[in-house]
Structure 1
Amino acid sequence: MGDTFQDRMNTGSEAVYAAIERGDYQGQGTAPIESALLDAQLDASGDEQDGDL
């Protein structure tokens, strides 16, 4: 698990921006993009708070 928070955050952000470039969020406004970036930040934090949803 040698990745740092910044490495994981960069990877998550790159995935979101790639989705934007593909047009995955076209016509949906900014809310889903903001949500995806927040999810990437949570994933990058490494917190073990994966409760049952």
Structure 2
Amino acid sequence: MEETFQDRMYLGSEAVYAAIERGDYQGQGTAPIEAALLDAQLDASDGEQPKQ
């Protein structure tokens, strides 16, 4: 079965959550977390084919 956008977005957001739990963003505010989530969304959308 092919991975969907939702699958890739879930995995990306789980990676960001794990980084938060490890304390990777501690003391940096929300900006790097927001950027990481946007990167995950961009990465997730890279696998989608444009509709014609």
TM value normalised by structure 1: 0.84
1:35 counterpart residue number: 35
How many residues align? The count is 47
Q: Hey, what does 2:19 align to over in structure 1?
A: 19
Identity among equivalent pairs (%): 85
Structure 1 residue 12, shift from structure 2 partner: 0.1
Separation of aligned partners in 2, 1:12 and 1:6: 10
Gaps in structure 2 of 5+ consecutive residues: 48-52
- Pairwise CA distance, 1:32: 0.1
Which structure has the larger Rg? Answer: 2
Q: Structure 2 CA distance, aligned partners of 1:39 and 1:7? A: 15
Instruction: Please identify runs of 4+ aligned residues in structure 1 that moved more than 4 A.
Output: none
Structure 1: 5+ residue stretches without partners: 48-53
Aligned Cα RMSD in Å? 1.4
Give the TM-score of the pair, scaled to structure 2: 0.86
